[in-house]
Chains A and B, each alone.
Chain A
Amino acid sequence: MTVLPKTDIGPPHYWEMLPPVIQRNYGQWKYHEILKPGVLVHVAESGEKIYSVRVGSPRLLSLDTVREICDIADRYCEGYLRFTSRHNIEFLVSDESKLEPLLQELHDRGLPVGGTGPSISNIIHTQGWIHCHTAATDASGLVKSVMDELYDYFTTMKLPAKLRIAVACCLNMCGACHCSDIALVGIHRKPPKIDHERVPQVCEIPTVVASCPTGAIRPNPKQKSVEVVEEKCMYCGNCYTMCPAMPISDPENDGVAIMVGGKVSNARTSPMFSRLAVPWLPNNPPRWPEVVETVKKIVEVWAERARPGERMGEWIERIGWERFFKLTGLPFTDKHIDDFIFSVPTFRTTTMFKY
């Protein structure tokens, strides 16, 4: 008789994953310092220390690379490491004498150390063309292209504040894109094409009709299919998620939108959504030069003008969006004025504004 596998055992217990110095000082940390970009020291009430070295990762890792990371952790970290919520690797060094040799090895391997304090940390991103069926753009290629260009801001701490970038490859916006200092979002610009022969076979019509945020889809009983009121469609692709017979991807019209000014931290100001800065830039693989150039421009205008400690969104709130568009030279269009369901509170209801 075959033995059935155990089910519902849950994840491996975190305690086994913690270096002994963390086990000894769990919940007893006193303070931390950033020694240099990418290198943190945490000091416990007991006086014990742990050093963390933050390394950028492409998130998509081959097994050979995972094993190389393990080799490094075995050599310098007694076999312990972690990953951050932004896909970085953190090597956890208990023995101070191993810190510099680790940094040397990481340098020799060309691995970027950084992403701490007022820097650009790794870009949170989604699967894109790597593995997603609803992608309007690739995510990994955009990340690589943007990080190559902004690399220096990862390995140094010369920005006014931290800068968090995220990429979502479609309007589903997986990956907290909607609350990032800069968000790159894959978008469509044309309504879905309906394959009337396949809709009745592969789609549940009431679900498709209900999936549309603007009520643009209605049943087409004659063909046992649906129809799209094209003027009401804002190309979110939610119908395609529910119904594979309504493809919406379009190589020439899909592209990338840029939203700015979001944050999740409560520090100083409440969490904020990212808001539209650029409605569309073309999908131009492999390096998306238009997107990279625009992101760089936004970062540099902010870096030059923000006060110390001022996140992108806080800076824009202070100077006003009208000034943001003026300073960045980004065109303001009818796309920037909200016409979805929560639009009115975004309209200016005062005579106070700048030119």
Chain B
Amino acid sequence: MAEPQEEKTQEQAQASPATPLLDELEKGPWPSFVKEIKKAAEKKPAAKDHLGLLELSYHEKIGHWKHGGIVGVRGYGGGVIGRYSDRPEMFPNVKEFHTMRINQPSGWFYNTKTLRELCDTWEKYGSGLTNFHGSTGDIILLGTTTENLQPCFNELSEKGFDLGGSGSDLRTPSACLGPARCEYACLDTLDICHNLTLEFQDELHRPMWPYKFKIKVAGCPNDCVASVARADFSIIGTWKDALRIDQEAVQEYVRQGFDVAAVCARCPTGALTWDAKAGELKLEAEDCVRCMHCINKMPKALRPGKEKGATILIGGKATIVKSAFLSWVLVPFMGMTPPYTEVKELLRKIWEWWDENAKVRERVGELIYRVGMRTFLKEIGLEPVPQMVRQPRANPYYFWWPEEVK
């Protein structure tokens, strides 16, 4: 395969680059990202050069983006990721190719009027490429110049959009669709997400912490936003009383040949049993751990209890630096009604302690791992409860506080 030419005449530079490797990815049934870049490249020189640079990466099996520099818009410390190509001489239109993170509406719902307005502005100022959505949840506007950042932001702001988070700040909170279209929702995830986002605008837009901090809100233990894996602070909907059984609806499942016994067989605690003779689904409510399995399988007959709230978990993160952590239980049950004062106060206490004590780029979970839960709990004023651990320690190496001994 011929290497792409280093030198290009003016005319060649204006023609679309030959992309034999990427062209392969236009074939096949799954929607093609290459077709998307090509669509944008018909209108935008930046998208055309992006395509050329990507083809180069496919030839050389290496990326061609440099570390970001400090770029942004007035009044904000985050929300824009500076990005520069390392081959500006070959592809001058992606010399600067910054990302703008735009805070998505809760639950990623849109009306088309709003989406079209966003498109019009990005058409004017950007490469024409987007991501719906980025990993954290933002709308990603992919690729613009330093010069265009401020006017693009000004226009977006005029239309009611704002930037998301980046760097060592609160990252854009995200939520599952919750009560908007899910009967499992134990929380108003959309409102909690929106309310917390508005409450913490300064934390979101002005990086001032040791590292990033993510909040995700899931309506039930199915955790469709992966908050346990992806959020430092996971708010997961749950309930405290017994799940509700509609025995009539259970009978209807049975009449349709549905295997209720098979659902019970996979109940993790044996709390749910099927009495075939009596034709009754029985629940030992105290044994139920609210895992959602039976509700998922029989949504017409089973639903969460009425005493709804959230389990708050802390510390989730991906691998860098000290391994990936799943969030662990911090508050087994917290009522969640507007204006969500209790959860806001808890967040502020955690941030104050973390900000004071963490090393640079130490996530809150890693700090807790380093100094111990006992210190963390004492600092934020929470009592230890058995729900926080899977099992107690198996070693005798624990600390006593000075006031606990004579």
Q: Which residues of A contact B (CB under 8 A)?
A: 4-14, 16-18, 22, 26-27, 29-32, 42, 50, 52, 56-67, 69-70, 73-74, 79-85, 87, 89, 92, 110-112, 124, 126, 128-135, 138, 140-141, 143-145, 147-148, 151, 154, 168, 171-179, 207, 210-211, 213, 236, 238, 241-242, 244, 249-252, 254, 262, 264-269, 271, 273, 283, 285-287, 308-309, 340-342
Contact = CB atoms under 8 A, between A and B. Distances in A.
A271 B83 contact: no
A174 B54 CA distance: 20
B268 A269 contact: yes
Contact of B30 (A56, A172, A176): A56
Contact of B21 (A65, A145, A265, A285): A285
Given A18-B180, A129-B57, A132-B63, A83 B326 contact: no
A5 B253 CA distance: 57
15 contacts: A7-B205, A11-B105, A14-B194, A29-B182, A112-B29, A131-B142, A135-B63, A144-B30, A145-B28, A148-B27, A154-B30, A178-B318, A254-B62, A266-B221, A285-B58
Interface in B5-64: 21-22, 24-25, 27-34, 36-37, 39-40, 47, 50, 54, 57-58, 60-64
B277 interface: no
A350 to B, nearest CB: 16
A69 to B, nearest CB: 8
Given A60-B37, A111-B31, A151-B29, 5 more contacts: A7-B75, A12-B161, A144-B34, A265-B221, A309-B297
B142 A60 contact: yes
Interface string B180-194: 111101001011001
Nearest to B31: A58
Given A80-B112, A271-B228, A63 B221 contact: no
A283 B61 contact: yes
Interface of B: 21-22, 24-25, 27-34, 36-37, 39-40, 47, 50, 54, 57-58, 60-68, 74-76, 83, 97, 99, 103-116, 119, 122-123, 128-133, 135, 137, 142-143, 153-154, 157-158, 160-162, 174, 176-177, 179-183, 185, 188, 190-191, 194, 197-198, 201-202, 205, 221-230, 262, 266-268, 290-293, 296-297, 299-300, 318-324, 326, 359-361
A244 B176 contact: no
A252 B61 CA distance: 8
Contacts of A172: 318-320
B114 A17 contact: yes
Given A10-B197, A81-B112, A269-B268, A4 B74 contact: yes
A249 B32 contact: no
A244 B83 CA distance: 13
Contacts of B76: 7
A26 B337 CA distance: 16
A265 B68 CA distance: 35
B25 A287 contact: yes
Given A8-B201, A59-B131, A287-B24, A26 B223 contact: no
B64 A59 contact: no
Contacts of B60: 251
B67 to A, nearest CB: 4
Q: Point out which of A7, A17, A81, A309 has the most chain B C-beta atoms below 10 A from its C-beta.
A: A17
B135 A126 contact: yes
Considering the complex of A and B, which 6 residue pairs feature the smallest CB-CB distances, nearest first? A148-B28, A27-B179, A17-B109, A251-B61, A266-B221, A147-B30
Contacts of B54: 129-130
Nearest to B114: A12
Contact of A151 (B30, B39, B153, B188): B30
B128 A63 contact: yes
Contacts of A154: 30
A244 B222 contact: no
A92 B290 CA distance: 29
B384 to A, nearest CB: 20
A129 B114 contact: no
Contact of B324 (A4, A132, A138, A273): A273
A303 B25 CA distance: 27
B223 A264 contact: yes
Contacts of A269: 268, 291
B324 A9 contact: no
